[in-house]
Structure 1
Amino acid sequence: MDEKVLIVEGTNDRKRVKQVLEEDVDIVCTYGTLSAEKLENLILPIEDKDVYILVDADDSGESLRKQLKRELPNATHLYTLKGYGQVETTPHEYLAQVLRGYFLVKEMFKQ
């Protein structure tokens, strides 16, 4: 199965990523934290898919990443630069570079 799911923290992150992606990808927002209930509702439906994780380069993002690593050990982790901090403020060109190896990105962001 080649269904891809990208996990981000918030709706602004989702909007930012969608501006760069050429393909239609299921983008799931965690809204910062993962309760047991949210984990069950989020993780169970996507366990068999190709999961990618792109969270902010800050303390809360790293904490969320650690939790997701435990729950989804086979997920691919993608990173923005600490200097950009949040996914929603990462320049489109850099975001495209991060996503390019895994997703189709819009022509205008290809180098």
Structure 2
Amino acid sequence: MTMVEGMDKVIIVEGRSDKKRIENIIREPIEIICTNGTLSVAKLDEIIDATFDRDVYILVDSDDAGDKLRKQFRREFPEAEHLYIDRAYREVAAAPRNHIATVLLSANIDINTEFLV
């Protein structure tokens, strides 16, 4: 995993569908990293190395797997900011774009305002 130059912020999501869901909502250059659901020690170390000195946001599903991932990040990556989608939607990929936009905006992430409608 290599750091993308000029990107001061990183959003960590579970899967490719989550990444696709949020990348067109975001207006500023942000790297989006997929954990693909599970997180080995090697993968976690890779993420920590790649995100050193950057603002890190965790946006995972509101389900058991997401909660487990979130706990792991809290333990290993305490400085990361956790963003939450409403439990009613359960999955980031299933949440309405306007809801995701509001969640991202609350973390001072620049979004395409058309998604706030």
Please indicate the TM-score interval, normalised by the length of the shorter structure. over 0.9
Q: How many residues align?
A: 111
Instruction: Confirm or deny that 1:106 pairs with 2:108.
Output: no
Q: Which runs of 5+ in 2 are unaligned?
A: 1-5
Contact 2:7 2:29 in 1 (8 A): no
Amino acid in the other structure paired with 1:105: I
Contact 2:14 2:37 in 1 (8 A): yes
Instruction: State the secondary structure of the residue aligned to 1:7.
Output: strand
Instruction: Confirm or deny that 1:49 pairs with 2:18.
Output: no
- Equivalent residue for 2:76? 71
Instruction: Confirm or deny that 1:9 pairs with 2:23.
Output: no
Contact 1:51 1:75 in 2 (8 A): yes
Contact 1:96 1:109 in 2 (8 A): yes
Paired-residue identity, %:
44
- Equivalent residue for 1:96? 101
Amino acid in the other structure paired with 1:23: E
Q: Which runs of 5+ in 1 are unaligned?
A: none
Q: Pick which of 86-95 and 40-49 moved more.
A: 40-49
Runs of 4+ in 1 over 2 A off after TM superposition: none
Structure 1 residue 2: deviation in Å?
7.4
Structure with the bigger RCO (C-alpha within 8 Å, sep 6+) is: 1
Contact 2:10 2:30 in 1 (8 A): yes
Normalised to the residue count of structure 1, the TM-score between the two structures is 0.93
Instruction: State the secondary structure of the residue aligned to 1:26.
Output: strand
